[in-house]
Amino acid sequence: MTTSGSGDDVVKRRADAHPNFFPAEAAGLAWLADGGARTARVIEVDRDHIRLERIPSARPTREAAEEFGRMLARTHAAGARGFGCPPDGIDGTIFIGNRTMTSTIHASWGEFYAAERVLPYLRVAVDVGTVTADEAALVERACAIVASGVVDPAGGADRIHGDLWTGNVLWSPDGVVLIDPAAHGGHRETDLAMLALFGCPFLTAIHAGYRDGGVLDDGWEERTPLHQLHPLAVHAAGHGRSYGESLATAAAETVRLLG
C-alpha cells in the first residue's frame, strides 16, 4: 500500500486491495462518527484507494484525553446489531490492518471473541512458527473458558473501533481524531485493552473521562489480558516470536483469572 497526498488530504492506494478493504475503512469511520466519535473525514473512496482529510497535529493534553474518554464511552454506548457485526453499509469481510476479519454475528460475546477474533489468528501463528504447540494449547484453553460465556457482558454489543492502538489516536487542536478502524460490534473493554497494550498518552485521564461518560463493570482492568488476546494473536500471526510469547502470557493470565 502507498500513501500520498497534499497539505489538505491523505491518499492511500493499493492496486490489489480486496473489494471491501477501503470501503470497510470508510464505513467504519462513518459508523463510529454516527455513534459520537470524532473521525477523519472521508473525501473519496473506491476499490483501490481512499482519500481522507489530513489531521493537523497537536500535543496531547490531560483535558483532551478526558474528553476522548467521554467520546469513546458515547461511541460504545451507541451499540451494534450484534457481536461481530460489521459497520453499517458493509457485508462480509472486514479488516484489522491488512488481515481479514469475519463479520459473522454471534449471540454470545465470548463465543464470538474466541471463534472469530482469537483462534483464526492463532492457527496462522502456529503455522508460521511464532507460537509453540504448548502455547497454542494454553491459548485454546483460555478461549474455551471465554467461549463458555463466563465473562459475557450483561448488555448487548458495543460499537467499537477494534484497532484502537495509540497510532490510530491522533491528537489535533480540536481533540482526538480516530483513524484506521477495524470497527465491529464487540466489547467496550477490548478498545480500552488495546489502548493499554502499546501505551497511550494520559491513559489514566482517558479512563477518568470514560467513567464520567459511561459505565465500566467491576474488575475491568483485571480483564485487560483477556481482551488483548485478539491483537496479540493478530501480531503473532505476522510480526514475530515475541508476540507469540506475549500471547501465551496473556492466555495464562486469562486462565488464572477465569479458570
**At 108, which helix (H) or strand (E)?**
none
Q: How confident is the model at residue 251 (pLDDT cuts 50, 70, 90)?
A: very high
Q: pTM for the full model?
A: 0.96
132: DSSP letter: -
Q: What is the pLDDT of residues 15-31, one digit of tens each?
A: 999 999 999 999 999 99
pLDDT averaged over every residue in the chain: 97
Q: What is the pLDDT of residues 207-223, one digit of tens each?
A: 999 999 889 999 999 99
The amino acid occupying position 139 is V
Count the alpha carbons within 13 Å of 37 in the hemisphere toward its beta carbon.
29
Closest to 78 (Cα-Cα) out of 198, 159, 183, 171: 159
All structural domains of the chain = 56-258 (3.90.1200.10)
Phi, psi at 139, each rounded to 5°: -65, -40
Q: How far is Cα of residue 3 from the mean position of the Cα atoms in its chain?
A: 22
Instruction: Average the pLDDT over 172-180 and give the result.
Output: 98
Q: How confident is the model at residue 49 (pLDDT cuts 50, 70, 90)?
A: very high
Q: At what angle do helices 62-77 and 188-197 cross, to 10 degrees?
A: 150
CB atoms within 10 A of CB 219: 10
Positive or negative, the CA dihedral 100, 179, 210, 224 is positive
Rounded CA gap, 241 and 87, in Å? 32
Rounded CA gap, 148 and 108, in Å? 9
